[in-house]
Amino acid sequence: MPRTRVCLLPAFLVFPLLLVIPIHSRPNSTELYLEAKKIALSGDIDGAIPAFIKVVEVNPYYALGHYGLGKAYLYKEGKLKEAVFHLKKAVECDRKLARGHFYLGLALMFSRRYEQANHAFLAAYENDSGIYEAFYNLAVIHDIMGISFKANKYYEKYVYEKNKRDSEILF
């Protein structure tokens, strides 16, 4: 039987080669999210959903992946349950994701889960005071629940914040 010679390279030659060779060719969740987001922004929600699913499969702990998927489901009739699930996951992964809380509030409100929606909208505004539309939705919820005093309070807050933003001088 012929002898096989094994040529061992010194470590200082092998290590640089390892840096050049990709360890895995697995796609990056952020890149996938940005691609899915482009699809969604183009108006192709049906095409965006599988793209966001891929993001969540690659990284199940990526808040924006769940956020994008939940928001896409929110635009599809009959997918409120899925929207709530993924938007909840998004804010579990990133408690400060204000837009995640806002869209979770919408999904919960459309699902007639008003108390939970109330908390989500409040969390949205607490994490980003620029999301003053949360006050409008809080007013609507309290109107639906028949709590006129709170509804009026939130309508007033919404109008105040909106007028404040509209009248700000920008340089």
- In this structure, what CATH number is given to the domain that contains residue 38? 1.25.40.10
pTM of the predicted model as reported, rounded to 2 decimal places: 0.81
- Domain containing 48 equals 27-114
Mean pLDDT of 46-65: 96
Residue 71 lies in a domain: yes
The Cα-based distances of 124 to 22, 152, 155 in angstroms read 40, 20, 16
* Residue found under tokens 């908390």: 119
| Predicted confidence (pLDDT) per residue in 115-166, tens digit | 999 999 999 999 999 999 999 999 999 999 999 999 999 999 999 999 987 7
What is the band of 113 on the pLDDT scale with cuts at 50, 70, 90?
Answer: very high
Residue 66 lies in a domain: yes
Residue type, 142: H
- Residue 49 CA to residue 82 CA, distance in Å, equals 11
Is the Cβ–Cβ distance between 127 and 97 less than 8 Å? yes
What values do phi and psi take at 170, rounded to 5? -105, 135
Residue 50 lies in a domain: yes
Task: Determine what percent of the chain is predicted with pLDDT higher than 70.
Answer: 82
Residue 97 is predicted with a pLDDT of 98
What is the band of 6 on the pLDDT scale with cuts at 50, 70, 90?
Answer: very low
Residue 97 lies in a domain: yes
Residue 54 lies in a domain: yes
Residue 143 lies in a domain: no
Residue 130 lies in a domain: no
Residue 20 lies in a domain: no
Number of folded domains in the chain? 1
Residue 4 is predicted with a pLDDT of 45
Is the Cβ–Cβ distance between 87 and 71 less than 8 Å? yes
| Predicted confidence (pLDDT) per residue in 77-94, tens digit | 999 999 999 999 999 999
